[in-house]
Amino acid sequence: MRTPSPSVAIAALSVSAFAIGTTEFVIMGLLPQLSADLGVSVPDAGLLVTGYALGVAGGAPLLAALTGRLPRRSLLLGLMALFTIGNLLCALAPGYGFLMAARIVTSLAHGSFFGVGSIVAAGLVAPDRRAKAVALMFTGLTVANILGVPLGKLLGDVAGWRATFWAVSVLGTLSVGAIALLVPQVKSPPADFRRELAVATRPGVLLALSTTIFSSAGAFAAFTYIAPLLLQVTHTTQAMVTVALLLFGVGVTVGNILGGRIADRSLMPGLMAMFAAFMLGQLALGLAAPWLLPALAAVLLFGMLCFGPVPGLQTRVLDKAKDAAALAATLNIGAFNIGNALGAWAGGMVITAGFDLRATTVLGAGFVAISLGLAWLGHSLDRARRGAGDAVVAAAPAD
């Protein structure tokens, strides 16, 4: 049987990314429904985002430790099977507590899939195309925001939120088939978890992971509550919330593609520029929220700016932990989701404290400012080390 081309294999990985992205992000559009149906407040419903994110963050390193010796293709198949089972449990959930537990089961597959998938995608192409390959795999995640999330929201509006999770279960089944047929069995040495953990917890790696955390917190502080913001501040309809989610997905897709190209051209300066733009985009969303058309334009911009840094952040961690790439990539997905949990929780606290929903965008801008500072620190340390290395070479006696 002919081995599929790298582009086809990466496309197959994108199918799984599409399914995962749909189940992760569609919950934001369903918060008002879940709140009413389950008899909990909107901030409490928002904790379903936090619980999922914490499950990703905790499950990713745990599964990395337990599955490091498995072939990567087999591991990807197992992770997507677990993902599908978790979504079936969500669809059958009799109450809030069961749904929370089912979301956590689903989340366990998330971090490890994107960590291992990133390594597989990057390993299929030339070194100077790694960020682009990772971005292409993540395209499934971004397309989920264009198609999966709005359609899932629409399905939930028409048939109830459980129907959305039934549909995602079908996507999970299809993704298992795509991996089985199209992703090659990647040869890799068995992972030494202790050695990789020592590499992945070096100061430079931890600094890169921290940058990821606060970038993601900035995105989710506002995005988690985008549906209530549009309904209560913009005073629009559920149908227009679906349109806004579609625009957000278009922005995410454009941002992901551009972000991968920027990262391949100039990694750290590019990341800093994207963080600065993202801060302004957060504030623009809050200012534009009372008016429908400006709000929709701001949501489009927000989507583009919040996902632009993602390929560069993943590549940065891979560069800093070359001897522990699989674990580091998995930990970075966990870092994204620690940020998701932090942002969703902090945004909920702001709302519970009685602040206007627009305050979540100011909070998000503050988190992104921290990421900008950490990226600047990492870049400065890199330049200092390169300068010290050049000085040592220059001072060395000639043969």
pLDDT per residue as tens digits for the range 313-372: 888 887 787 766 667 777 787 788 789 889 988 998 999 898 999 999 999 999 999 999
Is 182 or 199 the better-scoring residue by pLDDT? 182
Query: What does the pLDDT read at residue 338?
Result: 86
71's enclosing H/E stretch is none
Segment 10-16 shows an average pLDDT of 85
* Alpha helices (H) along the chain: 6-38, 42-67, 72-92, 96-123, 130-143, 149-159, 161-182, 193-200, 203-223, 226-232, 238-265, 267-288, 292-307, 310-320, 325-352, 359-395
- This prediction has a pTM of 0.74
- What is the spatial distance between Cα 53 and Cα 49, in angstroms, rounded to a whole number? 6
**Residue 396 reports pLDDT greater than 80:** no
Q: Are 215 and 368 spatial neighbours (Cβ–Cβ below 8 Å)?
A: yes
Average pLDDT score over the chain: 84
Coil, helix or strand at residue 164: helix
Query: What does the pLDDT read at residue 236?
Result: 92
The distance between the two most distant Cα atoms of the chain, rounded to a whole number of Å, is 78
Query: What does the pLDDT read at residue 133?
Result: 74
Using alpha carbons, list the distances in angstroms from residue 2 to 73, 182, 201.
17, 10, 40
Query: What does the pLDDT read at residue 233?
Result: 94
**Residue 391 reports pLDDT greater than 60:** no
Segment 66-95 shows an average pLDDT of 86
Per-residue pLDDT reduced to its tens digit, 244-278 = 988 988 888 888 888 888 888 888 899 999 999 99
Please state at what angle helix 96-123 crosses helix 130-143, rounded to 10 degrees: 150
Q: Give the pair of three-digit tokens for residue 275.
A: 């963080």
Assign residue 288 a region (left: φ > 0; alpha: ψ between -120 and 50; beta: otherwise). Answer: alpha
Per-residue pLDDT reduced to its tens digit, 217-240 = 999 899 888 889 999 999 999 889
Q: Where are the domains of the chain?
A: 6-184+192-385
Q: Where are the beta strands (DSSP E) in the chain?
A: none
- What is the spatial distance between Cα 293 and Cα 68, in angstroms, rounded to a whole number? 49
- What is the spatial distance between Cα 117 and Cα 179, in angstroms, rounded to a whole number? 11
135's enclosing H/E stretch is helix 130-143
Segment 278-287 shows an average pLDDT of 94
**Residue 393 reports pLDDT greater than 50:** no
Q: Are 44 and 35 spatial neighbours (Cβ–Cβ below 8 Å)?
A: yes
- Select the CATH number that applies to the domain covering 6-184+192-385 from these four: 3.30.499.10, 3.10.450.50, 1.20.1250.20, 3.20.20.70: 1.20.1250.20
**Residue 186 reports pLDDT greater than 70:** no
Q: Are 269 and 383 spatial neighbours (Cβ–Cβ below 8 Å)?
A: no
- What is the spatial distance between Cα 134 and Cα 337, in angstroms, rounded to a whole number? 18
Using alpha carbons, list the distances in angstroms from residue 210 to 128, 333, 335, 375, 378.
25, 12, 7, 9, 11
